């Protein structure tokens, strides 16, 4: 398989083969007979597209890929996504460690604006709707906007509802000061308006099967979702002044942090320490990230990862500049004495020319994942809108 241009295979069912089966004959695949330890040793040495295809080999390997998938996917670094202007049906994914390039087909992104990622899905939007597509599983979901509502969203999150297991999208429109939600396959949008509130909601994130919003006066609120309404309840906590570009970050679905890009080589991360009932919290600025690193791009992607599985730098920031095809790596926090630890790396095509139309980070560990949100949220809050 070509080490430079490789297509990420979709996880579609393999075509069935006709077999002439004699009476009483039992078919047994040799690969099913391999011990799990041997299968793991084989899979962990595969390139990303080969690993994604290995799970389709047989039932035993499918089960092994499911059980070991997250561990193996942690050994692959985040990929830099790009789109060629002349090949509008494909997206390319660039491995920042070994230079491998993969490609996947994007069926419906023509005339749509790239809006980032939500779990393993890539989001696009135009004035008519919001589209989510998974480049590996080929799962596609489109949500049509209400008639006459043509604004582009500030944040779109695709989630699965518990216990119904249906897909739902949450959309933040800061210009209109509204949050919208709709279930896939329906046309009834729910709306929550905070136009009379003295604050704005600047970002959304999912944590502990709940949706949280960050307000412009530096507080967190919990967004409650039911089949017929959206509510917003403020958590009792101190107000804090954040930058207008502040983004919410959830790590392991349990901790909420706020990441702010203060300028070149300047990032500040603040953690919200909440009590078990999630009705009281306080802010704490992180002095270091320990074994984690923060990945940032120009398209609303702020994600904490452990880069040790693929040999990356811990306690660092990886900033992807979409307009210059360069990503920078620098320590967290940054001081004037850290010039030797600041590095720029240019993303190039197979011919050595700078990569154009860079979009953002894509994380292999999220390929099969999607945030899950419960319908009914019973959290006692100190104040509500």
d(CA 89, CA 295): 26
Q: Give, for 372, the enclosing helix (H) or strand (E).
A: strand 371-374
Q: Which pLDDT tens digit goes with each residue over 195-208?
A: 999 999 999 999 99
At 334, list the tokens: 């940054």
As beta bridge partners, residue 358 has 82
d(CA 228, CA 170): 14
Residues listed for the chain: 385
Q: pLDDT grade, residue 375 (50/70/90)?
A: confident
As beta bridge partners, residue 284 has 271
Q: Is residue 29's pLDDT more than 60?
A: no
Backbone angles phi, psi at 296, to 5 degrees: -130, 145
For the chain, the structural domain boundaries read: 1-10+32-73, 74-384
Mean model confidence pLDDT for the chain: 83
Between 322 and 343, the more confident residue is: 343
- Tell me the DSSP string of 229-264: -EEEEE-B-------TT-EEEEETTTEEEEEEEEET
CATH 2.120.10 fits 74-384, yes or no: yes
Q: What is the DSSP letter of 99?
A: -
Q: Is residue 222's pLDDT more than 90?
A: yes
Between 352 and 235, the more confident residue is: 235
Predicted TM-score of the model (pTM): 0.86
Average pLDDT over residues 221-237: 90
Residue 195, judged by CB atoms within 10 A of its CB (0-12, 13-18, 19+), counts as exposed
- Sequence-ordered list of residues with C-beta below 8 angstroms from that of 19, at least 6 positions apart, any chain: 27
Q: Is residue 380's pLDDT more than 80?
A: no
d(CA 155, CA 67): 32
Q: Is residue 221's pLDDT more than 90?
A: yes
């Amino acid at each position: 398989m070509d080490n430079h241009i490789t297509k990420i295979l979709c996880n579609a069912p393999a075509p069935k083969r006709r077999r002439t089966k004699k009476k009483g004959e039992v078919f047994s695949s040799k690969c099913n007979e391999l011990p799990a330890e041997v299968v793991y040793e084989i899979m962990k040495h595969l390139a990303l597209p080969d690993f994604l295809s290995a799970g389709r080999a047989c039932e035993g390997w499918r089960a092994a890929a499911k059980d070991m998938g997250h561990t193996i996917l942690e050994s692959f670094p985040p990929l830099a996504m790009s789109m060629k202007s002349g090949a509008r049906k494909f997206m390319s994914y660039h491995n920042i460690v070994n230079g491998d390039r993969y490609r996947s087909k994007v069926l419906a992104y023509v005339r749509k604006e790239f809006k980032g990622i939500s779990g393993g899905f890539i989001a696009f939007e135009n004035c008519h709707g919001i589209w989510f597509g998974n480049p590996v599983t080929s799962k596609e979901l489109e949500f049509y906007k209400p008639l006459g509502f043509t604004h582009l969203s500030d944040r779109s999150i695709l989630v699965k509802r518990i216990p119904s297991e249906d897909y739902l999208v949450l959309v933040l429109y800061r210009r209109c000061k509204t949050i919208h939600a709709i279930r896939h396959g329906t046309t009834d949008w729910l709306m929550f308006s905070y136009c009379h509130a003295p604050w704005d909601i600047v970002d959304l994130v999912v944590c502990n099967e709940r949706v949280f919003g960050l307000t412009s006066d530096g507080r967190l609120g919990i967004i409650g979702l039911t089949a017929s309404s959206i509510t917003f309840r403020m958590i009792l906590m101190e107000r804090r002044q954040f930058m207008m570009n502040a983004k919410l970050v959830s790590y392991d679905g349990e901790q909420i942090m706020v990441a702010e890009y203060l300028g070149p080589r300047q990032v500040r991360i603040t953690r919200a320490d909440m009590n078990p009932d999630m009705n009281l919290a306080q802010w704490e600025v992180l002095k270091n990230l320990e074994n984690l690193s923060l990945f940032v791009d120009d398209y609303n992607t702020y994600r904490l990862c452990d880069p040790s599985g693929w040999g990356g730098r811990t306690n660092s920031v990886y900033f992807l500049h979409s307009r210059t095809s360069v990503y920078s790596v620098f320590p967290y926090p940054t001081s004037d004495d850290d010039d030797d630890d600041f590095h720029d790396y240019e993303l190039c095509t197979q011919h050595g020319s700078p990569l154009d139309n860079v979009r953002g980070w894509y994380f292999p560990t999220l390929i099969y994942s999607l945030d899950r949100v419960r319908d009914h949220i019973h959290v006692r809050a100190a104040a509500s809108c």
